[in-house]
C-alpha cells in the first residue's frame, strides 16, 4: 500500500487529520488497532474549546455537534460554600466552549471518513515506523492476520502514549518532561439530569470535585481520590454522599442523584516529549503530550497539532516551501506548554495534596478569591479555558 500521509490511530486527532487532508485533496490512510465499536464507545474528553468547535464546523463535521452539543458560556467555581461564575463571552470577546463527548466526535468523523474519505482500517495494529529520517517512511502493520507495509511521504503518530510512533525517534534526540500527581479522579456516569447548567469546579478540604454532563439526562461527575484507588471500593451511595459534601453551598442548591452506569479511576499526570517531529514522522496528541484533565485540554491540544500539520502540508504543496513543516514541533510546543501550565495551575488550585498544610489551604482559597474579585485574574482563566490560538 502507498499513500501521502500514513496516520496511526483513529482517535479524534487521527480522524480529524484525515478529514482535513481529504478536504485539501491530499490522500491518507488511517490505521487503528482497535475495532470500530471500541473507538466509538471509548470515554474520554467532553469539553471542546471554541477553536475546536470552529475547526469541526469548517471541516464539515459539526452538524450533529451543533444540534446535540451543549454550548457553555461559563463555569462555576466553588470554595468555602460560596459560588462564583466565570462568564466566558464577557471576558474573551465572545468565546464559549461546547460539551460534546469525544465518543460523539469520533462517530461523526468515522462516518464521514467511510463515506467520503480514504481507507480507514480497523484492527490494523501498527508494529513499527521505519525510515522516519528518509524521504520514504514506512509503517509496518498487522491486519487480518497478515503483516503488511504502508509506504508514505509522511507519517503522523496519533497513537497515544503507548503507541509505536514515538519509539521511532532516537533516544539521543528525545527529551521528556513529566510530573505525576499523588491523586486521581474517580469518575462516574449517571442517569441523572445535571444539577447545574454549567460545569462546577469545587475546592473542598476533603478534596476536589467536578460536576459535568454528557447530555440533558446524563451526568458526568468526578471526585479526587488517592492514587491507586479501586473504583469498586466505593459504593454508589458513598460516591453520592461524598459528592454532596464537596459541592455543598450556603444556599439551597441540591445535587441530583440517579443510577450510576459506569465508574472508573483516572490517574493524573503531565508529560511532554520534545521534539514532536523527527524527519518525516510527526507526533500529535497523547503520543507527544499528556495533561491532567482539570483544564480540559487533552483533546483540544490534539486538534491544534493536526491543524498545524495539515496547514503546513498544504503550504508545502502550494508554495514548495517546507518552512511550516520544519517549524511544526516548535509551533505546537508553544501551545502545548501554555496548556501544560494552565492544567497544572488548575490542578494545584483545586486539589488538596495529601501532605497539604493549613498554610497551603489558605493559599488555595486566596488564589480562588483573587479570581473571584479581579477581572484580570478571571480573564486569564477564561482565555486559557476557552482556548489558546492555533499556530
Q: Which residues are part of the catalytic machinery?
A: 72, 201, 293, 297, 385
Set of cell numbers at residue 162: 503507548
Give the span between the Cα atoms of 212 and 201, in whole angstroms.
Answer: 9
Give the span between the Cα atoms of 197 and 204, in whole angstroms.
Answer: 21
Say which residue the cell 446524563 belongs to: 218
Q: Contact at 8 Å (CB) between 372 and 78?
A: no
Beta-carbon contacts of residue 73 (< 8 Å; ≥ 6 apart)? 87, 88, 89, 96, 198
Task: Please name which of 99, 89, 19, 30 lies closest in space to residue 56, comparing C-alpha atoms.
Answer: 19
Give the span between the Cα atoms of 371 and 91, in whole angstroms.
Answer: 12
Ordered strands of the 120-121 beta sheet: 120-121, 28-31, 5-8, 154-157, 281-283, 277-278
Q: Contact at 8 Å (CB) between 157 and 283?
A: yes
Q: Contact at 8 Å (CB) between 212 and 46?
A: yes
Q: Contact at 8 Å (CB) between 138 and 149?
A: yes
Mutual orientation of helices 328-350 and 375-386 as an angle, nearest 10°?
130
Q: Contact at 8 Å (CB) between 6 and 299?
A: no
Q: Contact at 8 Å (CB) between 183 and 224?
A: yes
Amino acid at each position: 500500500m502507498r499513500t501521502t500521509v500514513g496516520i496511526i490511530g483513529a482517535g479524534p486527532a487521527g480522524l480529524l487529520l484525515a478529514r482535513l487532508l481529504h478536504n485539501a485533496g491530499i490522500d491518507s490512510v488511517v490505521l487503528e488497532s482497535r475495532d470500530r465499536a471500541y473507538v466509538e464507545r471509548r470515554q474520554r474528553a467532553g469539553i471542546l474549546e471554541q477553536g475546536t468547535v470552529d475547526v469541526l464546523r469548517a471541516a464539515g463535521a459539526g452538524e450533529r455537534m451543533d444540534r446535540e452539543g451543549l454550548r457553555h458560556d461559563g463555569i462555576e467555581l466553588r470554595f468555602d460554600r460560596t459560588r462564583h461564575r466565570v462568564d466566558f463571552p464577557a471576558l474573551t470577546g465572545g468565546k464559549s466552549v461546547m460539551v460534546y463527548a469525544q465518543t460523539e466526535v469520533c462517530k461523526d468523523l468515522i462516518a464521514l471518513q467511510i463515506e467520503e474519505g480514504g481507507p480507514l482500517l480497523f484492527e490494523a495494529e501498527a508494529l513499527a515506523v521505519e525510515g522516519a529520517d528518509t524521504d520514504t517512511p514506512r509503517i509496518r502493520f498487522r491486519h487480518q492476520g497478515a503483516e503488511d507495509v504502508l509506504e508514505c511521504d509522511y507519517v503522523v503518530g496519533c497513537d497515544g502514549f503507548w503507541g509505536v510512533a514515538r519509539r521511532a525517534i532516537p533516544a539521543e534526540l528525545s527529551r521528556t518532561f513529566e510530573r505525576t500527581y499523588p491523586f486521581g479522579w474517580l469518575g462516574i456516569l449517571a442517569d441523572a439530569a445535571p444539577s447545574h447548567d454549567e460545569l462546577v469546579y469545587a475546592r473542598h478540604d476533603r478534596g476536589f470535585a467536578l460536576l459535568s454532563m454528557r447530555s440533558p439526562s446524563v451526568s458526568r461527575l468526578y471526585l479526587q481520590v488517592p492514587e491507586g484507588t479501586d473504583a469498586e471500593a466505593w459504593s454508589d451511595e458513598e460516591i453520592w454522599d461524598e459528592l454532596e459534601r464537596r459541592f455543598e453551598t450556603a444556599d439551597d442548591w441540591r445535587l441530583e442523584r440517579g443510577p450510576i452506569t459506569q465508574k472508573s479511576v483516572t490517574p493524573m499526570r503531565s508529560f511532554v516529549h520534545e521534539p514532536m517531529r523527527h524527519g518525516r514522522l510527526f507526533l500529535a496528541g497523547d503520543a507527544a503530550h499528556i495533561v491532567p484533565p482539570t483544564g480540559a485540554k487533552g483533546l483540544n491540544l490534539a486538534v491544534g497539532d493536526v491543524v498545524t500539520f495539515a496547514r503546513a502540508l498544504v503550504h508545502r504543496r502550494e508554495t514548495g516551501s517546507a518552512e511550516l513543516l520544519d517549524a511544526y514541533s516548535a509551533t505546537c510546543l508553544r501551545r502545548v506548554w501554555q496548556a501544560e501550565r494552565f492544567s497544572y495551575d488548575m490542578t494545584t488550585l483545586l486539589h488538596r495534596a495529601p501532605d497539604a498544610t493549613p498554610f497551603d489551604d489558605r493559599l488555595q482559597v486566596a488564589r480562588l478569591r483573587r479570581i473571584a474579585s479581579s477581572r484580570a485574574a478571571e480573564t486569564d482563566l477564561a482565555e486559557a479555558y476557552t482556548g489558546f490560538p492555533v499556530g
